[in-house]
Amino acid sequence: MNSEKQSAALNSIFAAAFLTAMKVVVGVLTGSLGIISEALHSVLDLLATVITFLAVRFSDKPADAQHHYGHGKMESFSALIETVLLLVTCVWIGYEAIDKLFFGKSVEMTGALWGALVMAVSIAVNSTRVVVLKRAAKKYGSQALEADALHFSSDIWSSAVVTGGLVCVWIGETFHIPALRYADPIAALGVAVLVIRVSLKLGRETIDVLLDTAPRGMKEMIEKELSAIPDVVQIESVRIRPSGAVKYIDLNIGVEALRDHKSVHWLVGEIKDRVTVLVPNSDIMVSTYPVEPLSPDDININRALENIVDQVPDCLNVHNVHVYELDGKKQVTAHIEVRENLTLNATHGLSHEIMGRLKSEIPCIDNVNLSFERAERALPSEEITAAAPDLVGSIKEAVDGISGDLDCHEIRLYRCGGKVTTFLHCGVREEFTVDKLELLSDNIKRRLKSAVSQLENVHIHFEPIEDE
């Protein structure tokens, strides 16, 4: 384990132990319910710091023969125990405070000023701890240390409330104002309310982890990213289960049935890379299933939709086209990229325009559902063709190996955002129909992405070559 993380957690334990002992002694000597409540709170803080230390030390241990998903939930289980103890303590504090306020239990105490000084020391120590823990949490991405820092931030406020109560008691003793004697139990009630709020939040988050509740919005975010990958035909399911700081993600993805094993393997790698960028500390499992290719009628629908979108000035591209059949009628869904950030009224008008034109061209279509998204702006790129002759050679060799009737030339390479894109011209020595060129293009792209792992995108321009 990293020594700085361990040092931050251990120092937090020592500080909590010091504050606990100091508050217990001063609370008993002064009879302050506020300080005693803070002392009990500090006992739980000590427990929390020990839990954090153990979590930092053990929750990152890798999976083993008995714990296939690692040890991350040990932290959540310990946090649940801490939450229960916090709530029990708050019930006791509330009972004592109400007894003193409404049922005549003695509110006398001594040494209020000394108690206030002790709480001031507590605030200073906690402030130092928060700074150290936040620095270590940010540097190492430790959620356990970050949670510890947030917990002690709440301690600063609760200590400030108790300090205010003790100062009021001291003023009451000094200037003979009897009503201020009740400031201490009122401050204790304030601490109890604050601790209950922190406890309920911690308990809710802990139970969510123990029940494998997916983080809010994460599933939709992953589905949107997967939908942007052209080779992902369907998304059957996205399942997420958190365990400690790790998110376990299971994906079931539909791919074209005609794809070869290597190209599917490459696609799985791309999916994992993209999802890892969205959810950095994740363990991703991708399963695939075959999707039968489109029928000739469905291919015509796809092409007709592409032609219509090309003729609409505000639209840039169409993808994720799916055709469903129900009682002999076709249902079409698609995602359309637009050039500008259009309003809902504008996209609604585009939807009706495109749907009307598509249904007039292909009468068997019953319904069209379109989703609009803003096209990504062009990213700055650099040409690396001259600097990567080996990569150019690998691309030419892979394409030439597909068929002797292909002449691959004018290969250009560009790097954009860490990804490599290639543009290439392919001469064909015979008359190819559009259908055959489409199949040939898919074959070339699959072959290149399988043979050249660095490639992200492949763009092909076909041109005829006359036999001499």
Q: What is the CATH number of the domain that holds 41?
A: 1.20.1510.10
Encode pLDDT of 137-181 as tens digits: 777 656 567 667 766 776 777 777 777 777 877 787 777 787 777
To the nearest whole number, what is the mean pLDDT of the chain?
78
For the chain, the 3-state helix, strand and coil shares in percent, each to the nearest 5, are 60, 20, 20
Q: How confident is the model at residue 112 (pLDDT cuts 50, 70, 90)?
A: low
Together in a domain, 339 and 386: no
pTM (predicted TM-score): 0.47
Together in a domain, 327 and 440: no
Q: How confident is the model at residue 251 (pLDDT cuts 50, 70, 90)?
A: very high
Averaged over 191-216, what is the pLDDT? Answer: 78
CA angle 326-327-328, nearest 5°?
A: 90
Together in a domain, 302 and 287: no
Together in a domain, 118 and 237: no
390-406 burial, b at 16+ Cβ within 10 Å, e below that, comes to: ebbebbeebbeebeeeb
Shortest CA distance to 169 belongs to which of 157, 151, 149, 186? 186
Q: What is the CATH number of the domain that holds 445?
A: 3.30.70.1350
Together in a domain, 301 and 330: yes
Q: Looking at 254, 275, 291, which one is the last position of a domain?
A: 291
Structural contact between residues 440 and 377, judged by C-beta atoms closer than 8 angstroms: no
- Going by DSSP bridges, is the β-strand pair 246-256/315-326 parallel, antiparallel, or unpaired? unpaired
pLDDT reading at 106 higher than 60: no
Provide the 3-class DSSP secondary structure of residue 404.
coil
Q: Looking at 231, 264, 291, which one is the last position of a domain?
A: 291
- Dist CA 391 CA 452 (whole Å): 8
Together in a domain, 390 and 274: no
pLDDT reading at 125 higher than 80: yes
Together in a domain, 223 and 275: yes
> What is the C-alpha end-to-end distance of the chain, expressed in Å?
70
Q: What is the DSSP string of 313-362?
A: TTEEEEEEEEEEEETTEEEEEEEEEESS---HHHHHHHHHHHHHHHHHH-
Q: Which domain holds residue 254?
A: 218-291
Together in a domain, 48 and 174: yes
- Edge-to-edge strand ranges of the sheet holding 234-243: 234-243, 246-256, 282-291
Together in a domain, 268 and 346: no
Q: How many domains does the chain have?
A: 4
- Dist CA 35 CA 20 (whole Å): 10
Lowest mean pLDDT among 133-142, 193-202, 232-241, 271-280: 133-142
- Going by DSSP bridges, is the β-strand pair 246-256/282-291 parallel, antiparallel, or unpaired? parallel
| pLDDT computed for residue 329 by the predictor | 82
Structural contact between residues 399 and 393, judged by C-beta atoms closer than 8 angstroms: no
Q: How confident is the model at residue 266 (pLDDT cuts 50, 70, 90)?
A: confident
Encode pLDDT of 303-326 as tens digits: 888 888 888 888 888 877 778 777
Together in a domain, 239 and 203: no
Encode pLDDT of 64-79 as tens digits: 667 666 666 766 776 7
Shortest CA distance to 421 belongs to which of 447, 451, 460, 450? 460
| pLDDT computed for residue 249 by the predictor | 92
Residue type, 428: V
- Dist CA 302 CA 305 (whole Å): 5
Q: Looking at 374, 404, 435, which one is the last position of a domain?
A: 374
Distances 119 to 49, 122, 166, 172, 427 between C-alpha atoms, Å = 19, 5, 9, 19, 82
Together in a domain, 400 and 438: yes
Together in a domain, 407 and 344: no
